[in-house]
Structure 1
């Protein structure tokens, strides 16, 4: 659906200065119908990258193909036609303050001279989809942040796009509202098969709805793959930092002890469960058989989109040999085991 090859963007500098290289030789392939996340810190280049996908930002060099069409080669009229197939929602909603909910959603249709009866039918359909039936005649100032974003989503869907670009669509919202907006995006993806590309600096957004993810840092993609693989086996330091922040892991050294004279050691382990094994009592079974005491220091059981997963940080206390054998036994049961300290 979206194919990006060797994409670079350099903003011009003043005088003889070289300017800022915002994107550096980026390659991305986004499949039709998937939800693709791009995560990075502020200034990493993620917004610039997203805005190149509909040429709101024109790259300095490289190729951008959407549904097989090379956007950089289109004239103004052809580009406008292709942009109508690419919806976009924004962090700060970008609604018309003097227009009602109905009129905000109708605006893209009116721009292309859609007959009034078709506008009415489409807008009413979208208002029902995003759950704003009771608010159709209200103005943006009368709406909550979540309601404003629902208007933005409905407006982005007005022209039946094949792609929906989400520019930090939940970062201005509280956690409960964020979850409701993510659920709505997931529903839209499943119901209409729309390809969704979203950028964020929040790992939990990626975990909740994305199929695949790319990590951007310094204008370059430093890691990408299935969310499950990247989350459970991060290879780049930036990805590891995002995961540490999400799990609120601090200094682990204070959790480790050595019981002098008794030959009893402590080991901090990170245990990953994936799939239905998440709900089985493997940890208790293996460690009890090995005579090892353990304490759960931190943990979660959740889902990454449709995949059950669990992650525990535990301290195991026991003989050195028993600790080694226990780690091997857990791995043999299909768990990912990592020694942290």
Structure 2
């Protein structure tokens, strides 16, 4: 659906160039919610603006639905951009226009008949839950309501792709969750490809299918959210996860055991999260255990759990316990 090939973006003049993106490759499939996470200055906003050529890349290609946008002329590019909706961190609404007129704006730009504008805007107001606010102005709305207007406006031209540039970072946590649920509903209802730029791991974990981690203008890690979140390879990814979990200390790395003790981190995914696998195995092997830390949560709709456990027993029985847990399909990491 979206293919970025050796994408490079530089700013400035020769001799004083700043590189925002450097030879970046990325592939996003039709109908998925794809997240891009990175710290401030990593290049994520430049990346999403290059996807619809609001920023023209210095080099490389941007392909959307089989069309190379970087090879198009101005008029052709305008036509293709109508298939790409975009919502922004600070809403970018017309302050002197009503909610209705803000949503109708892209339709009127392409001379849509008045009756069709009325019908389409009415449908979108119902979709985002703002029917009662159609005659209000942006200044009369909350932040969440403004973003709902932005989403409705982005959907007005029936796009195939929706780009979200830090769409929830200006919102409180409760409002953020409601906007994320709305985006998930839109994705499922219309099979709309959504690309979501953020610096919040919670956003990625809530609704994304796959994620790419961007750092210093390049992708340092990419894959299904469950894989990247539970088995991060890059230090930047691990940093995001640590900050999201807000842990005051990880017993897995901060405690040292006695010779007959072993600290392990056990990860449960899917239905196994709620099964009694651990108690069944230790009953069989005869080791005792203490739970030092535990969490149960969800990645999108997939439940997962993590336990940090201290096993006590003979080295042989502890090793057998680890092997048996792994045979049951659990990921078990043994502290060094």
Q: TM-score, with normalisation over the residues of structure 2?
A: 0.94
Aligned to 1:204, the other structure's residue is in SS state helix
Name 2:274's counterpart in structure 1.
Answer: 279
Change (3 A) 1:133 1:295: farther
Q: Of 303, 313, 316, which aligns to 1:308?
A: 303
Whole-Å separation in 2 of the counterparts to 1:136 and 1:164: 23
Alpha-carbon distance, 1:335 to partner? 0.5
Is the counterpart of residue 324 in structure 1 residue 304 in structure 2? no
Name 2:21's counterpart in structure 1.
Answer: 23
Change (3 A) 1:257 1:235: closer
Alignment of 1:149-298 (within 5 A): 149-252=147-250, 256-258=255-257, 264-267=260-263, 269-298=264-293
Whole-Å separation in 2 of the counterparts to 1:11 and 1:69: 26
Name 2:331's counterpart in structure 1.
Answer: 336
Given that 1:255 and 1:315 are in contact with CA atoms closer than 8 Å, whether structure 2 keeps it comes out as no
The unaligned stretches of length 5 or more in structure 2 are none
Alpha-carbon distance, 1:101 to partner? 1.0
Alpha-carbon distance, 1:293 to partner? 3.6
The unaligned stretches of length 5 or more in structure 1 are none
Whole-Å separation in 2 of the counterparts to 1:145 and 1:318: 56
Alpha-carbon distance, 1:128 to partner? 0.3
Q: Of 36, 42, 45, which aligns to 2:43?
A: 45
Aligned to 2:16, the other structure's residue is in SS state coil
Whole-Å separation in 2 of the counterparts to 1:130 and 1:69: 30
Whole-Å separation in 2 of the counterparts to 1:257 and 1:64: 51
Given that 2:262 and 2:334 are in contact with CA atoms closer than 8 Å, whether structure 1 keeps it comes out as no
Q: TM-score, with normalisation over the residues of structure 1?
A: 0.93
Whole-Å separation in 1 of the counterparts to 2:310 and 2:125: 51
Change (3 A) 1:10 1:255: closer
Whole-Å separation in 2 of the counterparts to 1:320 and 1:245: 34
Whole-Å separation in 2 of the counterparts to 1:2 and 1:193: 15
Alpha-carbon distance, 1:266 to partner? 4.7
Given that 1:256 and 1:266 are in contact with CA atoms closer than 8 Å, whether structure 2 keeps it comes out as no
Change (3 A) 1:177 1:318: farther
Deviations, residues 217-266 of structure 1 (Å, cap 9, x unaligned): 0100111111112112221111122122222344446852545xxx5425
Whole-Å separation in 2 of the counterparts to 1:159 and 1:252: 49
Change (3 A) 1:309 1:258: closer
Alpha-carbon distance, 1:340 to partner? 4.0
Given that 2:267 and 2:330 are in contact with CA atoms closer than 8 Å, whether structure 1 keeps it comes out as yes
Alpha-carbon distance, 1:270 to partner? 1.9
Name 1:105's counterpart in structure 2.
Answer: 103
Alpha-carbon distance, 1:205 to partner? 1.1
Aligned to 2:89, the other structure's residue is in SS state coil
Aligned to 2:112, the other structure's residue is in SS state coil
Q: What is the number of residues matched between the two proteins?
A: 335
Alpha-carbon distance, 1:315 to partner? 3.3
Alignment of 1:4-153 (within 5 A): 4-13=4-13, 17-153=15-151
Whole-Å separation in 2 of the counterparts to 1:293 and 1:220: 46
Whole-Å separation in 1 of the counterparts to 2:86 and 2:217: 22
Whole-Å separation in 2 of the counterparts to 1:27 and 1:191: 29
Change (3 A) 1:314 1:140: farther
Cα RMSD, aligned residues only? 1.8
Name 2:3's counterpart in structure 1.
Answer: 3
Given that 1:48 and 1:57 are in contact with CA atoms closer than 8 Å, whether structure 2 keeps it comes out as yes
Whole-Å separation in 2 of the counterparts to 1:292 and 1:248: 31
Alpha-carbon distance, 1:291 to partner? 3.7
